[in-house]
Every structure is written in C-alpha cells, then in structure tokens.
A and B are shown apart, each in its own frame.
Chain A
Amino acid sequence: MTAAPKHSLFSSRRVLALAHNTLLELIRLKVFYFILLFALLIIGSSIFTIQFSFQNPLQVLKDVGLGAMSIFSWLLGLLCTAGLLPKDQEDRTLYTILAKPVSRFEYLLGKLSGVFLLITLAVLLMSVVFAGVLGIREQQEIAAAMQSSSPQTLALDLEAIRSAAFQANLIPGILLILLKALLCSTLTLLLSTVATSSVFTILTSVVIYLIGHVQGIAREAWLGGSETAAALKVLSAGVSLVFPDLQLFNVVDEIAVGTALPMALFWQVSGLGLFYILVYFLLAQVIFASREL
C-alpha cells in the first residue's frame, strides 16, 4: 500500500492554477473586451478630439489618456470582481473547488490574483497605446515646429514639445493608477463576501469609490482643528476611519504637468496601497471563512 500524498495547508501552485483559470474565464467574458476596446478607442481617438482643444494639445491628450486609463482600469476591476463569487456560486463551481483539498483562503487569493493579472494586462495594453498615440502626436508637433519656428527658437520649441510628450516620469503615476484599481478590486471582493447580489456589490463599491476621493476632506474636518460641529466631527471621523483615501493615489495629473514625484513619496504611497490591499483581503478572508455556503 502506498501512503497518500501529504496535503499542505497552503500551496502556491493551487493558487496559481486558480489565478490562471480566473484570468482565462475573465478574458472570455464579453465585458472585458467591451471595456478594453472602449478604453483603447478613447485613448486612440483622442489624437483627433484634441483638435477641439484650446491651446496645449499634448496636455489635453495626456489628460484624456490618463483619465481613460484610470476610469477603465477601475471599472474593469469592479465589474470583474463583483461577479466572481456570485457567478461561482450560481454555476456551482465554488462547491466543486472547495470540495477538493483547496482552502477558502487559497480560493479567494487565486480568484483575486486572476483579477489582478487581468487589470495589470489591461493597464499595460492601455499604456502602450497611450505612449504610441502621444508619440505620433509628438512627431506631428515636431514636424510643425520644424516648419514654423525660427532658428533662434527652434531648440526651445522642440524642448517644450518633448517635455510635454510621454516621459519616464509618467510611469510611477501609471503604476499608482494600477495600484488604485487593484485596491478598489480588493475592496469590491471584501464587499462581495458580505453581499448576496453582485448589483449591490457594484453599487456599494461605486459609492465607496466616490467617498474615498473626498475622504481627505472629512479627515481634515475631523483632525484639522477647524471649528466644526460635534455631530459633524463624529460623522467625519467615521468616514475617515472606514473609507480609504483614494485621492492619495491621484498624483498623475500633477506629474502630467511637470511636477516631479520623488521616489520616496512614490514608495510611501505604494506601501500604503499594498497595506490597504493586504488588510482588505484579510478581512475578506475572515468573513469568507465563516460564511455559510
């Protein structure tokens, strides 16, 4: 008689298999293609829409591209994560998986990793298209400057165009857009472990997203030392404690106009983002582990 293989409590191979499977499932969804195509269309077509802009076309192009990346990465994460658990429950896949030697922690981690991979791929693709569009426009601007600028001002004009186009300093900003989308996905996963319908999860997640962007105002009302009514202070404290400050991840708008992001600050924001993700995931696991399926 041969001994049964020893079962480990945690296996990264099982998590990877789940992540891979989730990624494939999500890629097959029509919503993925719809959102991605729409995002790429907006980024790509901005090269034409900037003709309506009033001065500084490269700036508008950057704002449109980065704005599209921000909204679509969040939307993709939200829609994909909100449907993960309800869908698996509906088609009974969840029970099949958990009947095997797969822990709920591995299941949740695998699912979330799949979503993370999908968002990362989408952001990467959008970044490539964005850089390409900016590059094309930059070349057009350079060609126009070559024809219209005087020899005295040509060097200055070219420098201005190049500094307004895609530069390496945008990469940390794009990484923070990605991190914000991952964080919102984790938050959506946390909600879906409590909620029973994906519509409720989506709506609540959208509200949290909006509140998360004004959380800083509530925090200042609570801790800022201003003359605020006691009831308002309590409400502000509640908002500050429960919701994440998503505004801290919105640095790309300033980077796009030339503000330098020190690497120390980038790592601090990234660290906070990863801390949020870890805590929200562990909270989701605590709830999911005790959930009656």
Chain B
Amino acid sequence: MKKVLLTLALLLGFGLVKTPLERRLHLAQTAQGFQLARLHLGTRQQLGQGGFIAALSGFRALMADLLWIRAGVAFEQTAWSRMELLLHSATQLQPRAVLFWEMAHYHMAYDAATAMRSGSNAAPTAALRRKAEVAFLRIGETFLQDGITFNPESSRLWERLGDLYANRLSDHSLAAEAYEKAAQLPKAMTYLRRFAAYELAKVPGREKEAYAKLRALYGEGKVQQMPTLLHLLGQLEEKLAVPQAQRAYIEKTASEGSEPPVVR
C-alpha cells in the first residue's frame, strides 16, 4: 500500500510538470491540422460500443473507413438518409481526408438530390420533389462548407463548392466567389480564374466587373483564350457597348482572318 501511494505521489508530481507540456503540444498539433476529429454520440450510435472504443483508442482512421464502407452499402440500397448519417460520422472521424468530404457532398448533392427529383421513390408532387431535392443539395453544401473549415487550404473543396453553386443551385455570385477562392489556394487548377470570371458574367449588374476580369485573362495570352472566354467577352462587349477599337474579341478574330468561333 505504501508503495502504491508513493508511486501515485511521484506520478502526480510528474503530472504537474508534464501537463503544461502536453497542453502546449496539443495546441501546436491542432494548429497544424492534427487532432481535429470529433467523436459525438451520433458516431457512437453508428459505430457501436466496441467501434467507439476503438475509435477512442487510436483506431479512428480504421473506424472512419469502416463507416465509409457501410455508406457504400447504403448507397447501393439507395438509403440516402442512412448514408448521410454514415458519411457524417466518417467525415467527423477523419476530417482531414479531403476525398471523404468531396465524395460525401457528391453523393448527397448529386446522387441523392437527383433520386429525390426523379427516382422510383420520389415524392408525388413536383413541389415536394423539389423540396426534397433542395434539402439534399443543402446537405451537400454543408458537407463542403464543413470540409473547408477543417481543410482551409484545399482548393479542390472550394472548386466543388463553386461547381455546386454554378450547376445545381444556380447561384452564380456565390459560385464566382468560391472559384475565386479556389484559384488563390495552393495546387489550384489554371482554369479556376476563368471559371470565376465566367460565373461573374452571369450575375446581373456585375457585367463590368466580369468584363474587366475576362479582359485581364484574355491579356494573358493563348493559354487563357478559350472559346467560352471569347464568347463571353463578345457578349459583354456588345452588352456594355465597348467601342470597336477597344474590343478584344474583334481584335483576335480580325487578326486571324477567320470566322468568329462563337455566335453573337
């Protein structure tokens, strides 16, 4: 008994020295993107008691993969709500896996939302179908936004958010913002700056801003002078009544001496 008490006393003394060190190290790890996983009661329900203990014991990534595999089964059964819960828990267990967030959003905003619109179990009225579709689109959006919170340096997630706003939610202003942010991050694709300008060109009232961006891109040379860019430049030059002498679109087609590549 004396020995146990002595050990405990020594351990407590050591604890007073180590605790500040541990805390500082934990904060340093969090700042670098480590130890961000969140274990909550929902995760426990998904994993069961044993799986939850395993996740707590340092086998978090394995448990996340297990949930991911089960989400795959739910996908095959088109059990979208169950799939959402499983994807949510998997992403919370492994928040630094960009692919998890990306695929989770994709399954919700594209697969599940499309199934709500035209699947065999779709709601009886168009209004209800649309409501269910939008609900899954928003779930997909939330997955991406949460993913960006955990992976702020991921250009890919911002790009997917831009795609979602542009193609599924038709919010071109937000799409332009998302592409713009994606373009500024490391490992960004070269087309993202063009995409931001394309989306801006579709926002009523922001044509001048869009034209300035498109024109700047056009000035960068052939690498940016894609058919869509030329097409939109032509449209905006007409719309904004840009003097002929200042038009980029005319300059290019005239110098080439060929038919314009786009229809005005």
Contacts and interface: CB of A to CB of B under 8 A. Distances in A.
Interface string B1-45: 001101110111011101101110110110011111000000000
Nearest to B20: A223
Give 4 nearest A-B pairs by CB, closest first.
A54-B72, A241-B15, A253-B61, A67-B62
Contacts of A186: none
Contacts of B15: 240-242
Interface in A137-167: none
Contact of A265 (B12, B29, B58, B94): B29
B56 interface: yes
Interface in A55-92: 55-56, 59-60, 63-64, 66-67, 70-71
Interface residues of A, number: 56
Interface in B131-152: none
Contacts of B21: 272, 275
B25 A272 contact: yes
Interface in B56-77: 56-62, 64-65, 68-69, 71-73, 75
A254 B34 contact: yes
A292 to B, nearest CB: 10
18 contacts: A54-B68, A55-B103, A63-B65, A64-B65, A213-B56, A240-B22, A241-B16, A242-B8, A248-B25, A248-B26, A257-B94, A257-B99, A258-B98, A265-B28, A275-B18, A276-B18, A286-B6, A287-B3
Contact of B65 (A59, A244, A250, A286): A59
Interface string A198-240: 0000000000011001111001000100000000000000001
A191 B6 CA distance: 13
B104 to A, nearest CB: 11
Nearest to B19: A240
Contacts of B99: 55-56, 59, 257
A160 to B, nearest CB: 10
A94 to B, nearest CB: 18
A194 to B, nearest CB: 6
Contact of B58 (A250, A256, A275): A250
A213 B58 CA distance: 7
Contact of B61 (A67, A216, A272, A291): A67
Chain B interface size band reads 35 or more
A251 interface: yes
B53 interface: yes
A256 B22 contact: no
B10 A283 contact: yes
A53 B58 contact: no
B55 to A, nearest CB: 9
A5 interface: no
B67 to A, nearest CB: 10
Interface in B77-112: 94, 96-99, 103
Interface of A: 52-56, 59-60, 63-64, 66-67, 70-71, 180, 190, 194, 209-210, 213-216, 219, 223, 240-242, 244-251, 253-254, 256-262, 265, 268-269, 272, 275-276, 279, 283, 286-287, 290-291
Contact of B26 (A244, A245, A291): A245
Given A59-B99, A194-B4, A210-B56, A269 B68 contact: no
Contacts of B94: 253, 257
Contacts of B73: 54
Contacts of A214: 56
Interface string B157-175: 0000000000000000000
B22 A219 contact: yes
B28 A283 contact: no
Among B16, B73, B97, residue most surrounded by chain A Cβ atoms (within 10 Å): B97
Nearest to A195: B4
Contact of B23 (A67, A223, A275): A223
Contacts of B10: 283, 286
Name which of B62, B72, B75 has the most chain A CB atoms within 10 A of its CB. B62
A140 to B, nearest CB: 19
Given A194-B4, A249-B58, 18 more contacts: A53-B69, A54-B72, A59-B97, A63-B64, A194-B3, A240-B15, A248-B22, A250-B58, A253-B60, A253-B96, A257-B94, A268-B25, A269-B25, A276-B18, A279-B14, A283-B10, A283-B11, A286-B6
